[in-house]
Structure 1
Amino acid sequence: MKSILSQKTVSNYIPALTGVRAMAAYLVFISHYSYIFDGIFPPLVLRFLGEFHIGVSLFFVLSGFLITYRYYNNFHLTGAWFRQYLKNRVARIYPMYFLLTLGAFVYFYFSNDQAITKGYPHPIGLLLMNLTFIRGFFYQFWNTGIAQGWSLTVEECFYFSAPVIFLIAKRHGKFYLQPVILTAFGVVMVLIFRHINWHGFFGNFTFVMLFTFFGRCFEFFVGVQLARYVLNKGFTRTNKFNFTYAGFVLIFVCVLVMAFQPIPAGWAAGLESPVGIITNNYFLCVAVALFYYGLLTETTRFKSFLAMPFIELLGKSSYIFYLIHLGYMANLINGTFDKLNDDVFALYDKWGLEWHSPFEYDWLNLFYAFVILNIIAVTLFKLVEEPLNHYIRRSDFLIKNKVRNPENSSEKIA
């Protein structure tokens, strides 16, 4: 491991942090399909894989770092600045979310798949709640539409809050008090609304602590503090401690702790136990920050791997992969595998053969699906997401476009 001595080396673009996005999305993918390995791996291994939702924490800490790294030293709470800021955020997040969410409800129209609406009888209203991210505040609706899209409500809350967070930190120095106040607000909201039957609006503590910004805000603040530290101290280091691998090991120590927790009734993972919530929300993010600090200040084989052009491309398309890896598109792929498996065996029967089908094993189909989903994600990134991103930035949406947006070069890392 070698320390990086020049801030200029990483001032514009950090390919390894793009590669991390792919790693985070794939961890979430594994957590959602760990059940497929039942009977192949021991129960403890299945529980361990089931806690790979930690990829969401990697995203949250990374968002806190990148937004702060880009904006903290040059933000101005003027109307023009805020409109440009929102324009950049919309260009980055919204086009693919809008299109894929619309696709989910079109799929519901033809299939009547209740996984999209969770039985709610007003799909148009639910579609609007999904498109405006409001669904993320209601326990009844948080996993409707694109179920994993709940995390975008959390992200959007941070995006809107970030300039205020920066302002308070700079003017009043109340940085560490802010996540305490935000979490306390979430707790108070639960105390007020948990006995009011309004579709689970701030309906229970587990929901608020794990699926809203008020419970998850500490993860963003850890990323914010990492960026503030780097902006202040630069990327030069004199010690030889290997933060990359130490942070990486600690991340999976947190996973192991959650894997040993009892799963509460009605939930799916040890994450949702009291110890799991504390581990995930307050210890895991610190380990993630140490890992990121290592990627920023060290030269390791792990960093070189994450910065490889192919991994970087997967990282750029990982947002789409995250949105499609669970839900209607994955269901269509898996349904195709089931039909192909039936067709293959029907053909074998016709030929009088007793061969194995290439679609016979769920774990192998999962690998096929993983490859296909990545191909779809990369294709949509190149043909849809990236062009729409650039189009919105060049447009007069929210604010008249200048000749060149000075943030375009650094947007690749945010």
Structure 2
Amino acid sequence: MANKPVQNYIPALTGVRALAAYLVFISHYYYVFDDTFPHIVQRFLGEFHIGVSIFFVLSGFLITYRYYGNFHLTTDWFKQYLKNRVARIYPMYAILTLCAFAYYFITKDQSITKGFENPIALLAMNITFIRGFFYQFWDTGIAQGWSLTVEECFYFSAPLIFLIAKKYNKFYIQPAILTAFAIGMVLIFSRVNWYGFFGNLPFVMLFTFFGRCFEFFVGVQLARIILNKGFERTNKVVYTYLGFLLIMLCVLAMAYQPVPKGWAAGVQSPAGIIINNYFLCVAVALFFYGILTENTVMKKVLALPFVELLGKSSYIFYLIHLGWMYTLMHQSWDWLNEYSFELYDKWGKDWPSVFENDKLNLLYAFILLNAISVLLFKTIEEPLNHYIRKSNFLIKNKPRNPENSSAQIK
């Protein structure tokens, strides 16, 4: 493979992160529109968890695009690679996880622990990402943080994936082996019942790296294509809009699937799993290919400085949009609504409250969550990221080391 010169920063892909995070936000709060939209539209919005698939394909692409060409499986290379991954992902996750458990110890909110009797052990499992392998614990702490266990598994696997692809020319067989391993683990541990460790097939296929690996491999392959052929192409197919249309068709197909008992969406049905894990990611890759090789209106919007800033802070938005922080906001709107009517009664006025409409309250929360995300990104996440990369953590920092550049969001 003859690698082309790497274009270090692609602003539109940073904007895509904001799009993906907002889709997940909609999927978690679509019920607010129960009295507004027909049932199928509600189901459609409920399947916008596809933002997670966008993140996974994007991770596969960016890690490969950034590291595949300079990959050397040496101790120093791996230490620098791991250092960059820790700097990018871990600080904000650890801080917000500690905040979530502090909230639990103050309020005893069972949404954090799901009733598990040992919160300290559960905190340790959350901090170390281990909870993502257990059906009983996958949505504890920061519930949506389960996807970071999946991401971390890919980060640790990526060097081996590159090695097998480059040295042994065995790329396409790898996701098949990983999926077969997942199925084998379910056959073994579904009978053990150890807190749901690889406890059932829907859980493993939707919430672990072994079930979701194909999405990362699709991103890896897209990066290999771009590294080999570059950003220029001759055909006139508008992949940006074709890919986006196919993504929406996958969402619609999942919306029509029956929701299995005990689950929340059509993606958790057998057909939904297949659509989500194997068809949707291909549509996402086509969308990305268009973003990378075309100059569409959508690409220009995603690359706008404001959207780019939202994309950079979207990791924090993803971590705080569901859970204790949103709960506090919701409680605040309720209190302000009651307080407003108390004031109106004193004044003898029959005015509406700006906090009595759930849809408007959701909009307020969305805006406030974004503002908090940008603030935390600028004051904590970005400084810590740069500090760790420039520090001697794991490996002594080398001046002007290209690994330490903030060239792209990964």
Question: What range describes the TM-score normalised by the shorter chain of this pair?
Answer: over 0.9
Distance 1:129 1:396 in 2: 27
AA aligned opposite 1:183 = T
AA aligned opposite 2:250 = C
Judged with a 3 Å threshold, the aligned counterparts in structure 2 of structure 1 residues 399 and 9 are, in CA distance, closer, same or farther, namely: closer
Partner in structure 2 of residue 184 of structure 1: 180
Partner in structure 2 of residue 383 of structure 1: 379
Partner in structure 1 of residue 237 of structure 2: 241
The alignment status of 1:371 with 2:370, answered yes or no, reads: no
Distance 1:120 1:413 in 2: 36
Deviations along 1:222-270, one digit per CA (max 9) or x if unpaired, are 0000000111111110111100000000000000000000000000000
Moved over 2 A (4+): 7-10, 407-413
Q: How does 1:294-305 map to 2 (within 5 A)?
A: 294-305=290-301
2:4/2:230 contact within 8 Å kept: no
Q: CA deviation at 1:410?
A: 4.8
Distance 2:5 2:221 in 1: 21
Q: CA deviation at 1:353?
A: 1.8
AA aligned opposite 1:77 = L
Partner in structure 2 of residue 155 of structure 1: 151
1:10/1:296 contact within 8 Å kept: no
Partner in structure 2 of residue 4 of structure 1: none
Q: CA deviation at 1:201?
A: 0.2
The alignment status of 1:142 with 2:126, answered yes or no, reads: no
300-309 vs 347-356, which deviates more? 347-356
2:91/2:381 contact within 8 Å kept: yes
Q: How does 1:402-413 map to 2 (within 5 A)?
A: 402-413=398-409
AA aligned opposite 2:111 = A
Partner in structure 2 of residue 319 of structure 1: 315
Q: CA deviation at 1:286?
A: 0.2
AA aligned opposite 1:211 = F
Deviations along 1:349-394, one digit per CA (max 9) or x if unpaired, are 1122221100001110000000000000000000000000000011
Partner in structure 1 of residue 114 of structure 2: 118
Q: How does 1:44-63 map to 2 (within 5 A)?
A: 44-63=40-59
The alignment status of 1:80 with 2:76, answered yes or no, reads: yes
Distance 1:214 1:27 in 2: 24
SS in 2 for 1:120: coil
Number of aligned residue pairs: give it.
Answer: 408
SS in 2 for 1:207: helix
Q: How does 1:257-296 map to 2 (within 5 A)?
A: 257-296=253-292
Partner in structure 2 of residue 3 of structure 1: none
Partner in structure 1 of residue 92 of structure 2: 96
Distance 1:311 1:408 in 2: 24
Partner in structure 2 of residue 355 of structure 1: 351
Distance 1:41 1:312 in 2: 31
Distance 1:396 1:258 in 2: 47
Which residues of structure 1 form unaligned runs of 5+? 1-6
2:4/2:229 contact within 8 Å kept: no
Distance 1:201 1:212 in 2: 11
2:214 corresponds, among 202, 215, 218, to: 218
Partner in structure 2 of residue 133 of structure 1: 129
293-302 vs 402-411, which deviates more? 402-411
Deviations along 1:132-158, one digit per CA (max 9) or x if unpaired, are 000000000000000000000000000
38-47 vs 303-312, which deviates more? 38-47
Partner in structure 2 of residue 194 of structure 1: 190
Distance 2:359 2:166 in 1: 51
Distance 2:85 2:283 in 1: 27
Percent identical:
74
2:247/2:283 contact within 8 Å kept: yes
Q: CA deviation at 1:172?
A: 1.2
Q: CA deviation at 1:282?
A: 0.2
Q: CA deviation at 1:412?
A: 2.6
214-223 vs 168-177, which deviates more? 168-177
Q: CA deviation at 1:348?
A: 1.2
Judged with a 3 Å threshold, the aligned counterparts in structure 2 of structure 1 residues 82 and 10 are, in CA distance, closer, same or farther, namely: closer
TM-score (norm 2): 0.98
Q: CA deviation at 1:20?
A: 0.1
Partner in structure 1 of residue 169 of structure 2: 173
Distance 2:53 2:84 in 1: 23
Q: CA deviation at 1:73?
A: 1.3
2:18/2:310 contact within 8 Å kept: yes
AA aligned opposite 2:220 = V
What root-mean-square deviation, in Å, do the aligned CA atoms of Structure 1 and Structure 2 show? 1.1
Distance 2:6 2:341 in 1: 55
Distance 1:152 1:112 in 2: 25
Distance 2:10 2:274 in 1: 30
SS in 2 for 1:72: helix
The alignment status of 1:108 with 2:78, answered yes or no, reads: no
95-104 vs 68-77, which deviates more? 68-77
Q: CA deviation at 1:12?
A: 1.3
Deviations along 1:254-293, one digit per CA (max 9) or x if unpaired, are 0000000000000000000001000000000000000000
Deviations along 1:20-79, one digit per CA (max 9) or x if unpaired, are 000000000000000111111111110000000000000000000000001111111111
TM-score (norm 1): 0.97
1:252 corresponds, among 239, 248, 251, to: 248
Distance 2:396 2:5 in 1: 33
Distance 1:337 1:412 in 2: 37
Deviations along 1:176-235, one digit per CA (max 9) or x if unpaired, are 100000000000000000011210000000000000000000000000000001111111
Distance 1:72 1:406 in 2: 14
SS in 1 for 2:70: coil
AA aligned opposite 1:138 = F
AA aligned opposite 2:306 = F
